Structure 1
Amino acid sequence: MQSLVERFSAAARDAGATVDDPDLAAAAGYLVTRWSEPQRQYHTVDHLTAVLDVIDRFAGLAPHPERVRLAAWMHDAVYDPRALGDANERDSAEFAEGLLQTLGVPAETAREVARLVGLTAGHATGEDDPDGELLCDADLAVLAGDEVAYAEYTAKIRREYAHVPDDDFRAGRAQVLKALLELPSIYRLAPLREQWEARARANLERELRTGV
């Protein structure tokens, strides 16, 4: 099984990176350090790995899976639970474009990875965007876990937002859940939708109803 460093290096090479292998490894190590920051409870290396695993599993559905993999690495590279709105996603997208260009990834590809990162703010994609659909579906795969896994996910989210009072957290979380439930489909790609849509909606509806 490839290490995370090897997975990042391979995706960067496939996307056109031109720097030497030690530089790619150093960039991967730096990203792992970011994903290991102490304020993170859910948005950790475990989440990154889970997203990458889904992308690998369904890579054939995307025309540019290497870009999707890089976007997965970058989509929460900047993560502050106290940030407002989509600041984390905007900052992560900007960070992604800059870092990838320093690794020799062509500017157009780096911009496209940054665009994909930005999609994770609302998980809404446009027409004919299979790369974006795979990234968003992979990021939301956790919603389709069994009841135990889903409860673990929500507990981690609450710990990440421990600074938010209970009433405010419940109100904000309810907005997130309703926005997801209002999407025409939580999962855009047919194979993922067929496997996960019903269970994800059941989980979201139960949390909205009971807080669990």
Structure 2
Amino acid sequence: MKETYFLCLKPYTSDILLMESCWNEIIASYSDQRRSYHTLIHLQHFSDQLNLCKDQLSDYPTAYLAMIYHDIVYFTMDGTNEEKSAIVAAGHLNRLHYPADLISLCSEMILATKTHAGNSSSDINYFIDADMSILGADKGSYAKYAAGIRKEYGDSIYFDRGRKQILQHFLNMERIFKTDLFFDKYEHQARKNIQGEIDNLS
């Protein structure tokens, strides 16, 4: 992932030390010991899914950078982790001389992961579908994902209720996956996985 991150930035900066510094901050954030799912493993999975739709993306580098930064801030008390992640991304990318209009697109992609709603931008739809692809994983991988989410929230007595609301929100969508590529690949299994998790929540 580091190599691709650098390749996305090299057209705009030759400051290798700054790129290294930004990358090290990214690694430190995703290596936080409180994380069980939103880790570098999640980033690698997301990266693999973006590669599935690379040819459909009009701006793969910006989507890749948004992927790298989308969960750089995760543990917040006020539910603004997406907004704060976008701020960190913009801060890094400004210093790295990434174009302002593309920084805005990167921020828009990160913010889209808050609701995973359909968007008029096909790039954003592919992006959020790639992020949610874990929902349509095989049963064992989905179970590991669900366990990781639970672990990140510790022993909160509100976890089951909140988790049910989130999962039901996905089931209530006409389409969980907005693009045909991801819909055909994951929609059916995702709905089975989600309903199974809901059934197991208290």
Instruction: Normalising by structure 1, report the TM-score.
Output: 0.90
Specify the alignment match of 2:94 in structure 1: 101
- Please show how residues 1-212 of structure 1 align to structure 2 within 5 Å: 4-13=1-10, 16-80=11-75, 82-85=76-79, 87-127=80-120, 129-165=121-157, 168-211=158-201
In structure 2, distance between residues paired with 1:111 and 1:163: 37
Mapped partners of 1:159, 1:105: distance in 2:
36
Whole-angstrom CA distance in 1 between matches of 2:99 and 2:88: 15
Contact 1:137–1:192 (Cα < 8 Å) also in 2: yes
Cα 1:210–1:163 shift into 2, 3 Å? closer
Q: How many angstroms does 1:19 deviate by? A: 3.6
Note the C-alpha offset of 1:10.
Answer: 1.3
The aligned amino acid for 2:85 is: S
Change (3 A) 1:12 1:163: farther
Q: CA–CA distance in 1 between the matches of 2:122 and 2:113?
A: 14
**Superposition deviation, residue 29 in structure 1:** 2.1
Checking the alignment, whether the CA contact within 8 Å between 1:123 and 1:136 is kept in structure 2 is yes
Measured in 2, the distance between the counterparts of 1:35 and 1:151 equals: 21
Q: How many angstroms does 1:92 deviate by?
A: 0.4
Q: Shift of the alpha carbon at 1:125?
A: 2.9
What is the Cα deviation at residue 163 of structure 1?
A: 4.0
Structure 1 residue 102: Cα displacement: 0.5
Q: Matches of 1:68 and 1:54 in 2, distance apart?
A: 12
Extract structure 1 runs of 4+ deviating beyond 6 A.
none
Task: Give the conservation status (yes or no) of the 8 Å contact 1:34–1:77.
Answer: yes
Unpaired segments of 5 or more residues in structure 2? none
Whole-angstrom CA distance in 2 between matches of 1:211 and 1:197: 21
CA RMSD, 1 decimal: 1.5
| CA gap 1:40/1:49 in 2 versus in 1, 3 angstroms | same
What is the distance in 1 between the residues matched to 2:38 and 2:9?
A: 22
Say which SS state the counterpart of residue 140 (structure 1) adopts. Answer: helix
- Take 1:209 and 1:67, find their aligned partners in 2: how far apart are those partners? 38
What TM-score, normalized to structure 2?
0.94
Q: CA–CA distance in 1 between the matches of 2:133 and 2:47? A: 11
Read off the aligned partner of 2:103 and give its amino acid letter.
Answer: A
Q: 1:17 Cα shift?
A: 2.7
SS in 1 for 2:118: coil
- C-alpha contact 1:17 1:103 (8 A) present in aligned 2: yes
Judge conservation of contact 1:186–1:197 (CA < 8 Å) in 2.
Answer: yes
Alignment coverage as a number of residue pairs: 202
1:178 Cα deviation after fit: 0.9
